[in-house]
């Protein structure tokens, strides 16, 4: 990047940050629940006035309602998911043939970088924010988030962040960044792509957004709980969001600092991470001190969703509620002590490696506690195989595979053999796609009646589940086997010495993985069609779509849903609703 480009970029970002600062200074009442955009009371407090939300695009651009913000997070995350999914489909098509030249190697590297960053930062964190924004205030009996306007600002930092991250694909003549999502130095310093600078700035914006959201959730759960909600009866989903927010508070600012140092190395000749005068290994320490807690930032709330939804269709309360909470907190603390197991092969002191191996294995204990609690909850329960329950069961089974394969990587001798092979990719994706995404779908199907007031199509929903279940295990089991065969990750083409590895076996495993990826893609199309079509044409749901009101499992958010229906103006309709796994018999 030439000097004029650097100066223009610096000025652009400076103007943007000044604009944000000016906007913040004009917000006078940070805790107002009656902003202009979402209706409320104006003037004399003793008077009475009612103004409904504006309609159309104005509503979505100006809203500070936590439910609207949650919907915006959800829409944003789905767009990012589609982008990241298309990227990986192109990559998997390329890998189906060992010498294919469907795309150039540089473009493959760009897709690889974009896929990882998009799925982790633009899909993973925002989709969790969608759930937490919408439901945490409802679950704890709050009117809204503690700081509604900060909540809106946190979301609106994300779209420009995404555009900056994707700039290499969107701006003609600019090559995409090719650093992979880990942005290891010295590669990320020496690459001259301007897209890398823009990507780093975009990542910085997403980090600021996540940190603002985390502070807001901590403040909301501590200060806005209803009178009847204490720490003992706080729901498990809110517990996981509270723990996740604490992790974000420590992890993301460190990433932001490291990103600034990397930008300074690239543009102003500093030597934090250079080979001469700095240390590329320092980048890895800083990155993974953020990177491994990031895994738990992503997985703890989905664990909370499963812990919340699974008992509803097991007919029993969550077994060992206190131990699930304690294990959540234990994972949060231990997650900051495992970063160096990503660096066993970098030559760090053997005594340090041994201590990190011990901590990495120890974190399996609270994870196993949760797994046993989920299984015990289902044991002898009255299980209803609704779509949310199917995704919960899929989550548990995939999480077991992902967790067990991770224990092997925590062992130094095995990690040195499997490091940077497809085994790592398979393990990681069993957690991210096999577990986190499944839990997300469990939550989406369970709360769909609240989101939309409609019921989805049961047959399509179950087709979605089975396409994902089969596709996920085909893809990532094949990757585990590829790792055992010694297939390195991040390669666009591959060949092997016939005396060591049979290339036909490697090719067949890649083709199986590609087939699984397309099954997942097809299942995703079924899911999107089902949700969109049902939103417009599905039957209206009643007050208790899951048949839980007579049990102790009736959630606070459905009480809110019932009150909404009773106070809303009825719009007619005579079609009876058949719930998924409810009373269709």
DSSP codes of every residue in 445-481: HHHHHHHHSB---HHHHHHHHHHHHHHHHHHHHHHHH
Q: Can you give the pLDDT at residue 576?
A: 54
Output 529 or 38, whichever has higher pLDDT: 529
Read off the pLDDT of residues 118-137 as tens digits, 9 standing for 90 and up. Answer: 999 999 999 999 999 999 99
Read off the pLDDT of residues 221-260 as tens digits, 9 standing for 90 and up. Answer: 999 999 889 999 999 999 999 999 999 999 999 999 999 9
- pLDDT band at 57; cut points 50, 70, 90: confident
Sign of the Cα torsion 9, 10, 11, 17 reads positive
What is the rounded CA–CA span in Å between residue 290 and residue 213?
A: 17
DSSP one-letter code for 315? T
DSSP one-letter code for 576? P
Write down the mean pLDDT value for the chain: 88
- pLDDT band at 44; cut points 50, 70, 90: very low
What is the rounded CA–CA span in Å between residue 395 and residue 189?
A: 39
Q: Can you give the pLDDT at residue 572?
A: 44
Q: Can you give the pLDDT at residue 250?
A: 92
* The two structure tokens encoding residue 407: 């224990």
Task: Taking residues 353-368, report their average pLDDT.
Answer: 92
- Is residue 5's pLDDT more than 80? no
- Is residue 31's pLDDT more than 60? no
Q: Can you give the pLDDT at residue 108?
A: 94
Q: Is-contact 165 198, C-beta < 8 A?
A: yes
Q: Can you give the pLDDT at residue 120?
A: 93
- Is residue 49's pLDDT more than 80? no
Alpha-carbon distances, residue 275 vs 186, 265, 343, 345 (angstroms): 7, 11, 17, 18
Q: Can you give the pLDDT at residue 528?
A: 95
* The two structure tokens encoding residue 333: 């603390």
- Is residue 330's pLDDT more than 60? yes
Task: Taking residues 442-452, report their average pLDDT.
Answer: 94
Task: Taking residues 372-379, report their average pLDDT.
Answer: 95
What is the rounded CA–CA span in Å between residue 41 and residue 48?
A: 7
- Is residue 282's pLDDT more than 70? yes
Task: Taking residues 187-214, report their average pLDDT.
Answer: 94
Q: Can you give the pLDDT at residue 249?
A: 94
- Is residue 185's pLDDT more than 80? yes
What is the rounded CA–CA span in Å between residue 577 and residue 584?
A: 9
- Is residue 30's pLDDT more than 50? no
Report the share of the chain in percent with pLDDT over 90.
72
Residues 6 or more apart whose CB falls under 8 angstroms from that of 250 comprise: 293, 336
What is the rounded CA–CA span in Å between residue 420 and residue 194?
A: 27
Read off the pLDDT of residues 407-429 as tens digits, 9 standing for 90 and up. Answer: 999 999 999 999 999 999 999 99
| Angle formed at CA 152 by CA 149 and CA 156, multiple of 5 degrees | 140
- Is residue 54's pLDDT more than 80? no
Flag the least confident range among 43-57, 436-450, 480-494: 43-57
- pLDDT band at 583; cut points 50, 70, 90: very low
- pLDDT band at 20; cut points 50, 70, 90: low
Q: Can you give the pLDDT at residue 14?
A: 67
Say what the alpha-carbon torsion angle 513, 514, 515, 519 is, to the nearest 10 degrees: 100
Q: Can you give the pLDDT at residue 213?
A: 96
Model-level pTM? 0.87
DSSP one-letter code for 243? H
* The two structure tokens encoding residue 191: 């690459």
Residues 6 or more apart whose CB falls under 8 angstroms from that of 135 comprise: 70, 237, 447, 557
- Is residue 570's pLDDT more than 50? no
Q: Can you give the pLDDT at residue 102?
A: 85
Flag the least confident range among 11-20, 352-361, 403-412: 11-20
Report the share of the chain in percent with pLDDT over 70.
88
Q: Can you give the pLDDT at residue 499?
A: 85
What is the rounded CA–CA span in Å between residue 242 and residue 136?
A: 10
Q: Can you give the pLDDT at residue 563?
A: 87
What residues pair up with 454 in beta bridges, in sequence order? 540
Q: Can you give the pLDDT at residue 331?
A: 93
Q: Can you give the pLDDT at residue 43?
A: 40
Q: Can you give the pLDDT at residue 500?
A: 85
Contacts 24+ apart (CB under 8 A), 342-349: 342/284, 342/288, 342/291, 342/292, 343/281, 343/284, 343/285, 343/288, 344/412, 344/415, 344/416, 344/419, 345/415, 345/416, 345/419, 345/420, 346/281, 346/284
Task: Taking residues 127-150, report their average pLDDT.
Answer: 94
């Amino acid at each position: 990047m030439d000097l004029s480009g650097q100066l223009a970029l610096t000025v652009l970002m400076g103007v943007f940050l000044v604009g944000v600062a000016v906007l913040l200074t004009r917000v006078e009442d940070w805790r107002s629940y009656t902003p202009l955009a979402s209706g409320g009371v104006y003037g004399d407090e003793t008077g009475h006035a009612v103004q409904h939300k504006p309609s159309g695009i104005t509503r979505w651009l100006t809203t500070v309602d936590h439910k609207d913000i949650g919907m915006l997070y959800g829409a944003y995350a789905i767009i990012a998911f589609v982008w990241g999914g298309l990227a990986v489909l192109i990559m998997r098509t390329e890998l189906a043939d060992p010498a294919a030249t469907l795309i150039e190697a540089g473009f493959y590297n760009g897709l690889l970088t974009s896929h990882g960053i998009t799925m982790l930062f633009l899909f993973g964190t925002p989709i969790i924010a969608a759930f937490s924004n919408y439901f945490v205030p409802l679950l704890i009996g709050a009117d809204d988030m503690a700081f509604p306007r900060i909540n809106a600002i946190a979301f609106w930092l994300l779209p420009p962040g995404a555009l900056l991250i994707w700039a290499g694909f969107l701006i003609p003549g600019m090559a995409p960044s090719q650093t992979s999502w880990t942005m290891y130095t010295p590669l990320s310093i020496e690459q001259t792509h301007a897209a890398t600078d823009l990507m780093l700035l975009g990542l910085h914006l997403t980090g600021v957004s996540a940190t603002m959201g985390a502070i807001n959730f901590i403040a909301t759960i501590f200060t806005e709980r209803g009178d009847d909600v204490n720490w003992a009866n706080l729901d498990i989903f809110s517990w996981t969001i509270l723990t996740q927010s604490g992790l974000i508070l420590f992890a993301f600012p460190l990433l932001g600092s490291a990103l600034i140092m990397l930008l300074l190395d690239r543009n102003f000749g500093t030597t934090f991470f250079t080979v001469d005068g700095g240390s590329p290994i320092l980048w890895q320490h800083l990155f993974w001190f953020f990177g491994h807690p990031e895994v738990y930032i992503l997985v703890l709330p989905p664990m909370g969703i499963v812990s919340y939804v699974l008992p509803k269709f097991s007919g029993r309360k969550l077994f060992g509620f206190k131990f699930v909470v304690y294990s959540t907190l234990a994972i949060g603390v231990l997650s900051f002590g495992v970063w160096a197991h990503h660096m066993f092969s970098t030559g760090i002191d053997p005594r340090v490696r041994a201590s990190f191996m011990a901590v990495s294995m120890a974190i399996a204990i609270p994870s196993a506690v949760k797994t046993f609690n989920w299984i015990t909850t289902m044991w002898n329960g009255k299980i209803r195989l609704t779509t949310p329950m199917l995704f919960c069961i899929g989550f548990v089974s995939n999480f077991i595979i992902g967790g067990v394969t991770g224990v092997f990587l925590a062992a130094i001798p095995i990690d040195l053999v499997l490091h940077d092979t497809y085994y790592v990719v398979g393990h990681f994706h069993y957690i991210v796609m096999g577990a986190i995404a499944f839990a997300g779908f469990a939550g989406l199907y369970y709360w769909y009646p609240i989101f939309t007031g409609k019921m989805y199509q049961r047959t399509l929903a179950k087709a979605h589940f089975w396409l994902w279940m089969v596709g996920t295990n085909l893809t990532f089991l094949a990757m585990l086997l590829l790792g055992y065969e010694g297939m390195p990750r991040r390669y666009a083409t591959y060949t092997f010495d016939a005396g060591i590895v049979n290339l036909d076996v490697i090719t067949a495993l890649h083709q199986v993985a590609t087939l699984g990826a397309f099954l997942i893609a097809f299942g995703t199309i079924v899911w999107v069609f089902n949700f969109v079509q049902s939103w417009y044409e599905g039957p209206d749901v009643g007050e208790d779509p899951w048949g839980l009101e007579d049990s102790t499992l009736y959630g606070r958010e459905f009480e809110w849903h019932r009150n909404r229906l009773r106070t809303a103006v009825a719009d007619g309709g005579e079609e009876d609703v058949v719930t998924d796994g409810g009373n269709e018999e």
